[in-house]
Amino acid sequence: MGVVIQMRVNGKTQQHEVEPRLLLVHYLRDVLGLTGTHIGCETSICGACTVLLGGKAVKSCTLLAVQADGADVVTIEGLAALGGNGGLHPVQEGFWEKHGLQCGYCTPGMILAAVELLQTNPKPKEEEIRRAIAGNLCRCTGYQHIVDAVQYAARKMAAAKR
């Protein structure tokens, strides 16, 4: 038995009939083809599946697509549009500048977790950054360049506001 759901994903309204058990991450990846959101652990530990739901970072592997009915979802593919300058979002830029990624698999989720952090705390200390991304595992970088990337983005966003 299908359920019709409608949501805005990266600014575009989507409507589909889905099985109620369909996970949001599978909806994004398999139905909408937005494969930038990854699946790393399925137990809501690793954060690779992080997307913004109503502006808040959530783990889309532990969420049914039907639970997001009516919501506003941003995935990594739609993030640049939030950056406001037509190019990369400052957090994306930070990850590039500071070598904040290696294999890239955790990166979309990591970037979105950092975006939420900077929305609520524009000048985070290193410890605050490390805590904010504790729900996102990276096996490649040792996190240091990720911290640098978030700090870069914070500076960049602060400068843009001035």
Apex 43 CA angle, 39 and 47, nearest 5: 50
- Of 99 and 158, nearer to other proteins (C-beta) is 99
By C-alpha distance, which of 112, 85, 108, 99 is closest to 141? Answer: 99
- Of 47 and 162, nearer to other proteins (C-beta) is 47
| H/E stretch holding 113 | helix 107-120
- Of 19 and 123, nearer to other proteins (C-beta) is 19
Question: What's the min distance (Å) between Cβ of 162 and other proteins?
Answer: 25
Give the pair of three-digit tokens for residue 65.
């697509």
DSSP single-letter state for residue 151:
H
- Of 46 and 157, nearer to other proteins (C-beta) is 46
> Radius of gyration of the chain from Cα atoms?
16
Question: What's the min distance (Å) between Cβ of 159 and other proteins?
Answer: 19
Apex 142 CA angle, 111 and 45, nearest 5: 60
Question: What's the min distance (Å) between Cβ of 29 and other proteins?
Answer: 8
Question: What's the min distance (Å) between Cβ of 153 and other proteins?
Answer: 11
Burial class (CB in 10 A: 0-12, 13-18, 19+), 120: exposed
Cα 7 from Cα 73, distance rounded (Å): 7
Question: What's the min distance (Å) between Cβ of 12 and other proteins?
Answer: 15
- Of 77 and 162, nearer to other proteins (C-beta) is 77
